[in-house]
């Protein structure tokens, strides 16, 4: 009789507990909120990975952080973000401390010019302009009162490899959203959706992010370059950086335009979409071209840059041609696309005056 009574009481207490949890979840959870991020940014938010960076005979220990809303760095209120820089891994720069990124170098230089706003890093590794469009469809609208005055798009390198198709048919790699008939992937998306909406799961994530790391330790050795010793590459007699003027001599513009006609057309269409999204959100877009460690040696990147600048002039868009401005050195990169600590600093120094001029002309801040 005693055990039967105890069992009954236990069921009652458990039932009351679950009802309490359910009520709290319904009242305080994000089950019905239009601002819930759902599964879309699951690989790019609430991250705090310990990283060791080896570079120029120095060792840097830091945490690669992506905050609650998906931006790189510490927590911030999306409604107070005044400027963002959007790009792929060359913008995210997860392999180096935040202070050494292009974005933070720009913030430092712009502050010296009297600006008090901060450019927030919205880079996501692997994204092309397709992924950036995805951001405006599935990430930014879920940030309450998110309305930056300035959108900086650092683009080109990933678009030369993009598989182009209609936007409507796109299954993007952005946000690491998995779209397939695979049961395990659907299950992962379903569970992540539940976790992102749950009040208690959300609080546990925030506590974990504040006091603990959220991933395994990573090590990046920037003393090596493209699989070879840095010193060997630096002394390689065949290395040559192809600047804009040299690229005009080695590339046939007409031939490249014809060869990559579809690629260029879709790329510029994406640029137009991004420009419209930014302006619709009361922001000013700036498009910046990209270069590799060998400059504009690769024809497809050269012609994407060339076509973008022509399009910007035709459409009166704000564009900065890094490819035309930069005379690169091998030490500015640690592989074929990603900049070293010095490279990020030099790129920021190369484009900051143009950004400053656009800000002044548009009377943004």
pLDDT of residue 175: 44
Q: What is the mean pLDDT of residues 7-24?
A: 61
pLDDT of residue 203: 64
CA angle 23, 26, 27 (to 5 degrees): 85
Token pair, residue 338, equals 């990603």
CA–CA separation, 317 and 289 (whole Å): 13
C-alpha dihedral over 64, 338, 78, 31, to 10 degrees?
Answer: -70
Confidence of residue 345 (pLDDT cuts 50, 70, 90): very high
Identify which has the larger pLDDT, 10 or 342. 342
pLDDT of residue 46: 84
For a pLDDT cut of 70, what percent of the chain falls above it? 70
Query: Does the pLDDT of residue 344 top 90, yes or no?
Result: yes
Query: Which tens digits make up the pLDDT trace of 260-277?
Result: 999 999 999 999 999 999
Return mean pLDDT, the chain. Answer: 83
CA–CA separation, 171 and 181 (whole Å): 13
CA distances from 83 to 72, 119, 318, 351 (A): 13, 5, 15, 16
Query: Does the pLDDT of residue 241 top 50, yes or no?
Result: yes
Q: Are 42 and 176 in contact (CB under 8 A)?
A: yes
47-362 carries CATH number 3.90.76.10: no
Query: Which tens digits make up the pLDDT trace of 57-94?
Result: 899 999 999 998 999 999 999 999 999 999 999 999 99
pLDDT of residue 275: 97
Confidence of residue 244 (pLDDT cuts 50, 70, 90): very high
Q: Are 50 and 61 in contact (CB under 8 A)?
A: yes
Query: Does the pLDDT of residue 227 top 60, yes or no?
Result: no
pLDDT of residue 88: 95
Q: Are 298 and 244 in contact (CB under 8 A)?
A: no
Question: What secondary structure does DSSP assign to 304-327, as a single string?
Answer: HHHHHHHHHHHHT-EEE-HHHH--
Q: Where do we find the tokens 């302009």?
A: 129
Q: Are 298 and 53 in contact (CB under 8 A)?
A: no
CA distances from 105 to 177, 272, 343 (A): 31, 28, 11
**Residue 239: count of CB within 10 angstroms of its CB:** 12
Q: Report which listed range, 44-58, 213-227, 255-269, is most confident.
A: 255-269
Query: Which tens digits make up the pLDDT trace of 130-185?
Result: 889 989 988 999 999 999 999 999 999 999 987 655 554 455 444 444 444 455 55
pLDDT of residue 138: 86
pLDDT of residue 19: 63
pTM beyond cutoff 0.95:
no
pLDDT of residue 187: 64
pLDDT of residue 330: 87
Confidence of residue 12 (pLDDT cuts 50, 70, 90): low
Range from 14-18, 34-38, 56-60, 95-99 carrying the lowest mean pLDDT = 14-18
Query: Which tens digits make up the pLDDT trace of 84-131?
Result: 999 999 999 999 999 999 999 999 999 999 999 999 999 999 899 988
Nearest to 155 by CA among 103, 253, 89: 89
Query: Does the pLDDT of residue 229 top 60, yes or no?
Result: no
């Amino acid at each position: 009789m005693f055990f039967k009574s105890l069992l009954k009481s236990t069921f009652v207490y458990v039932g009351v507990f679950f009802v309490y949890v359910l009520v709290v979840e319904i009242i305080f959870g994000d089950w019905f909120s239009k601002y819930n991020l759902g599964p879309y940014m699951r690989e790019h938010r609430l991250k705090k990975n310990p990283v060791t960076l080896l570079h120029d005979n120095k060792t840097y220990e830091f945490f690669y952080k992506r905050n609650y809303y998906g931006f790189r760095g510490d927590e911030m209120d999306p409604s107070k973000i005044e400027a963002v820089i959007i790009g792929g891994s060359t913008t995210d720069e997860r392999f180096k401390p935040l202070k050494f990124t292009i974005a933070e170098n720009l913030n430092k230089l712009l502050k010296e010019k009297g600006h008090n706003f901060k450019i927030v890093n919205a880079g996501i590794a692997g994204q092309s302009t397709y992924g950036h469009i995805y951001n405006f469809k599935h990430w930014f609208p879920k940030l309450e009162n998110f309305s930056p005055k300035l959108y900086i798009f650092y683009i080109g390198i990933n678009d030369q490899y993009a598989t182009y198709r209609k936007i409507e048919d796109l299954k993007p790699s952005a946000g690491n959203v998995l779209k397939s008939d695979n049961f395990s992937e659907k299950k992962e998306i379903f569970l992540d959706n539940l976790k992102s909406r749950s009040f208690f799961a959300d609080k546990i994530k925030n506590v974990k992010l504040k006091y603990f790391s959220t991933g395994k330790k990573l090590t990046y050795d920037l003393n090596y370059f493209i699989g070879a010793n840095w010193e060997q590459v630096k002394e390689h007699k065949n290395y040559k950086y192809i600047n804009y003027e040299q690229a005009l001599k080695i590339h046939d513009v007409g031939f490249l335009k014809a060869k990559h006609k579809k690629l260029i057309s879709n790329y510029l269409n994406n640029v137009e979409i991004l420009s419209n999204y930014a302006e619709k959100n009361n922001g000013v877009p700036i498009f910046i071209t990209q270069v590799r460690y060998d400059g504009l040696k690769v024809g497809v990147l050269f012609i994407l840059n060339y076509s973008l600048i022509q399009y910007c002039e035709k459409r009166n868009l704000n564009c900065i041609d890094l490819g035309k401005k930069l005379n690169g050195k091998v030490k500015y990169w640690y592989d074929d696309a990603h900049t070293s600590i010095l490279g990020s600093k030099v790129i920021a120094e190369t484009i900051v005056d143009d950004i400053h001029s656009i800000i002044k002309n548009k009377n943004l801040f």
